[in-house]
Structure 1
């Protein structure tokens, strides 16, 4: 069986906090970027907590070049990858991304726009408009202008379209009130340090890290979760509603910290240099110490569910298990994987979580069901869970490119607790301040 990954339940919190406190304080003294304050907005962002109406940033696109050729949409469609070349359009520009495919952080996902516009995809995966790398890339790839380009109304930029339902989602206003709004679309917040004084972080104060519009599920018990296997012995996909899963498996409750992979990115970059972080130059470069929180989570044990859904797992050797992963896919299209050995380890306490602090999850935290993986990078704790697949490691961008170690050498799974400083309080262990 794979080794047990670090977990941050109450006992682990007491031990781990003491070991990181000195180093955390030392690195903070060397920090080049001032810590964020709840009275203002986050350095590097255009979002203000009180700004209304919402106006999302948009790249203008690469400027036209003198004498560049003009192409029609029909011309671009001929370069959809079927003949070896891939062109896309953004606004009035035409871009040849054929050689860029191997470098594209989103991997093969860009092929979904092959021979057509990326505008719609970027409105959904709005992170494109928050990354400074995008503008430079567009400049280098532009090959001409779109002759039949027509300006389209961009409702999503103002919080409409796919982004409209979440604006009034339960819990959103408390997040805005008690945290630093890093981005509105996708919605991302960092919890103010003063709000982390309680042992259990209130649900509405827990940091939020979304990548796309929040799926709003109206009938939670009818929400489908698909179980699939790439192993020959378990080839049939099985769809179960959340209600069916809850009727079949017992609830289990744990207390565990959830921490974003980029927590204290600003401190890390200042202390260890740009090469130490994959967040340099991105929209998360200035993240402080508020991308974590401690919660009481309730849900179904992932190891019990996997063993019941995939009986052949009991026949696999330890070596075979080490070669396999579990891919977790969310309703928003986000997907990533974790080692199968971790998911099957009953000491890891991995959950298909449905409740936080005794209440149903809010939409921003994955209602109606999410993965909760103690001690594992927040990026692997997929929200709005809709599919679980046993097989090879995910080839998705959030495993193959993002959330990886220095030099992007390997995916980050186990994540040491990364605090600003801690305070001992009786037998409750350490509390984050």
Structure 2
């Protein structure tokens, strides 16, 4: 037998490292050639790493969530033949650099973060007869006491042990039973589960932190009467051709945004806060915040300004389904210039959406509800919806934000304006 080293390959995009997000094998497993060993994530794409040979796994590069350098050892296999001793002789410089960088980063975090007691602390030498046992500790008790407690449905961790070193005795059980217990006391659940944030969820957390830290948000909420729009949407869906998608409210909003940013191009932009430069775009690439199994992603409807209502709807359906299925490409998940976010029927009355950095605006829609609306003479039932939109207050003043939302509101309340050039 010989050792075969599988290195983390160059997965493209000119990156130097990737995050380990999944292992498909463990040490001791037999793997066939081309079997998937694990997966790594770059900025947006998840890449599976296959085995180049048949063999037994003897070493893995790390744990899920670790950052691994491109070209460093990923998996080591015991294989038949001579193997590749030259590649297994020593960890490459890239791997050493990655490990060093991770240690430096951990040291920096340790210096700035508050000290947290380790999960498995050394046992205390103080008497424990005055406090209940903690959730992760096994209380001291004789087998007969444990049996009696189990039959009575009592969790021994909730008892005060009066015996030596906090040992629980029959007398402790008697006192506990004598005072009476509720179901909640007999079956407490003090479990704490630690879930490591990795992969897409960690990417989302990082992006949200950047957006919330760097961007001073201003959120503007406006009520919109969408009764006429909903009537038009229903009629168009009834009469649509079989090759056309069913319309939701979003394609109408996309068209309204296209017309609104034509009048205010500074809203269809990126702000490079390090260079102090605003990049205004002629093309309107609308991001659609989409909930997927791993987390929130933003697929992009490119060149919304060049699409009609049904074409925009079809492209929105295509890219959001690709995002949910995990088949979206990097191009389909990057490059938006302004974003729409919607929780659909769960949209609530008001939201405070976080801007998709480095964009300067995000338009959020809330659920539609029938509310009484004053028409000047009487209250009448109307289909109403709130727009909750956020703006980067460093480059967008409150007046301009309000004017932008009012432009969208006017088009949604009089939907003919969406289709007619003024």
Q: Could you tell me the TM-score, scaled by structure 2's length? A: 0.24
Give the structure with higher Rg (CA). Answer: 2
Q: Could you tell me the TM-score, scaled by structure 1's length? A: 0.24
